[in-house]
Amino acid sequence: MSVPADYGAHYKFESIALESERLQVPVDIRRVTTDVDIYEHLDKPYLTGTITLLDNANFYSATDILGGEKITIVLKSTRENTKEIKKTFYVSKVLNTARVNDTSVVIHLQILEDVAYISNLININKSYNDKIVNILRKIGKNYLRKDVGYINEDKQSVKVIIPNLEPIEAMSWLKNRATTKDGYPFYLYSTFVDDHLSFLDLGTLIQQQPMNQNIPYIYSEAASQLNSLDRSRKIIQAYEHENVECLYDLIKQGLIGSHYEYINLLDNEKKKFDFNVVNDLLGPLISKGILSKEQGEPMYSPQFSLNEKPFNTLKSKNITRIGGTSAFKNASTQQLSYSEANSVAEYKLQVMSYAMHNLLQKSPMTIHVNGLDFIDGTYNTTIGNVVKLVFPKSRGERHPLESDIDPKMSGNYLIFAARHSIKKEKYDMTLSCVKLANYPRK
């Protein structure tokens, strides 16, 4: 059974080409492709995915897939003024095959974006001395032929020796060390639309205006009856809000109230400080306007207390870490290594960065929506963008566009991960969304 190349009314695959050095010519597999799933994630500088094939023409045996073939997907929205989206992947694994009947077999392929597969073939053992963003750009260009887009630089220059890592591993390792001067973590990620990697800090990301400010995504049965196509398409078809609000884990990790020591092994000098999530993180976020007045109720409250002392003032954990060995310091230079900092304040930035990253994921919301608005191809509209979600309060009846909304469930969320679910019937998106604060309770 063949599958039409035009998948529904709103998009089509221009081509899905399988190619390798073992094949004489590329093979267009559109007509045997039934499903494509593409995954984006803020913590991954590459895309992953799966492809499902329905083979009734001995395709699997004829091509003899071994796990190193390239698959180039070219997709385009059928809306006006849109651009095609083109991404190249490698087959990383045949997940399984299953016989439907005597003449057909279903094949599930796992795919990795080309940048990740190529990275797996390369080893770096090299010294760098620069700001982390500049090191990332050098690695991306020299080893992967990938540009790294950024807005803000990380705070410190470091000298590091990449310790026999592949390029993607090295870039992720360095990204984890980077913070802004205010302690915001950085994310290095790839998107379905862009050809480059993005290196952006959390402060920059969460201060964006929602891309759907005027027409928010709404979870409401009544909203589905709206006549406007734009509004009816912004319906949350389903959502999951599970395993959330685990303050216990944040306390256990020392990210609410704790005492830290960073030891220099060369001279046994200790940099000591206390971390208080309210004074060191949430207070500055509010005072600097990172958390807006409209949505300024943080995901932690100092009203929680033990023996009349707020949780954040208790030194729940004593954490000792190696700050460095002054490996690159001498009479003429004070160059920092990977884990070193110049002062207590700079060491605290590392803790603030880790705390903000984890607090951000304290109450994730996963929503399922129509995918049409995410495949125009002109610019990225998925991970790293802010989206406005509206949930009505769970009492009484009201029109879905009224302002009487659930202040905890609703809000401006950062899209942290996305799944493009492309089937012959439709194009759906699953968005994993996170936020640092709620609307005020009324």
- Residue 394 burial (10 A CB sphere; 0-12, 13-18, 19+): exposed
**Among the listed residues 393, 390, 391, 373, the one whose alpha carbon sits nearest the alpha carbon of residue 382:** 373
Tokens in use for 289? 């306007």
Instruction: Judge contact between 385 and 415, C-beta under 8 A.
Output: yes
Q: Which CATH class is domain 122-207?
A: alpha beta
**Which region holds residue 66: left if phi is over 0, alpha if psi is between -120 and 50, else beta?**
alpha
**Among the listed residues 395, 397, 396, 392, the one whose alpha carbon sits nearest the alpha carbon of residue 407:** 392
- Cα 299 from Cα 144, distance rounded (Å): 39
Question: How many degrees, rounded to 5, is the angle at CA 272 between CA 271 and CA 275?
Answer: 130
Q: Residue 328: what pLDDT?
A: 77
Q: Residue 264: what pLDDT?
A: 87
- Cα 265 from Cα 326, distance rounded (Å): 8
pLDDT digits (tens, 9 = 90+) for 299-339: 999 999 999 999 999 999 999 999 877 777 765 666 888 88
pLDDT digits (tens, 9 = 90+) for 341-389: 889 999 999 999 999 999 999 999 999 999 999 999 999 999 999 999 9
Question: How many degrees, rounded to 5, is the angle at CA 261 between CA 338 and CA 258?
Answer: 115
Helix, strand or coil, per DSSP, at residue 54: strand
- Cα 330 from Cα 332, distance rounded (Å): 5
Helix, strand or coil, per DSSP, at residue 368: strand
**Among the listed residues 148, 150, 116, the one whose alpha carbon sits nearest the alpha carbon of residue 47:** 116
- Cα 159 from Cα 335, distance rounded (Å): 7
Please, what's the b/e burial string for 274-308 (b: 16 or more CB within 10 A of its CB; e: otherwise)? ebbbbebbbeebbeeebbeeebbbbbbebeeeeee
- Cα 89 from Cα 436, distance rounded (Å): 34
Helix, strand or coil, per DSSP, at residue 357: helix
Sole residue written with tokens 């207590």 = 344
The domain limits of the chain are 11-119, 122-207, 247-360
Half-sphere exposure for 5 (CA within 13 Å, toward CB): 12
Instruction: Judge contact between 77 and 377, C-beta under 8 A.
Output: yes
Q: Residue 142: what pLDDT?
A: 97
pLDDT digits (tens, 9 = 90+) for 57-76: 889 999 999 999 999 999 99
Instruction: Judge contact between 76 and 192, C-beta under 8 A.
Output: no
Q: Residue 49: what pLDDT?
A: 98
Query: Residues of the chain whose pLDDT is less than 50?
Result: 1-8, 401-402
Q: Residue 425: what pLDDT?
A: 84
Q: Residue 404: what pLDDT?
A: 81
Phi, psi of 31 (to 5 degrees): -80, -10
Q: In which element (H, E) is residue 412 found?
A: strand 411-423
Q: Residue 439: what pLDDT?
A: 93
CATH number of the domain at 11-119, out of 3.40.50.300, 2.130.10.30, 3.40.50.150, 2.40.10.10?
A: 2.40.10.10
How many CB atoms within 10 Å of residue 97?
Answer: 13
Instruction: Judge contact between 380 and 194, C-beta under 8 A.
Output: yes
Q: Residue 102: what pLDDT?
A: 86
Q: Residue 3: what pLDDT?
A: 39
Angle between helix 132-139 and 167-177 (nearest 10): 170
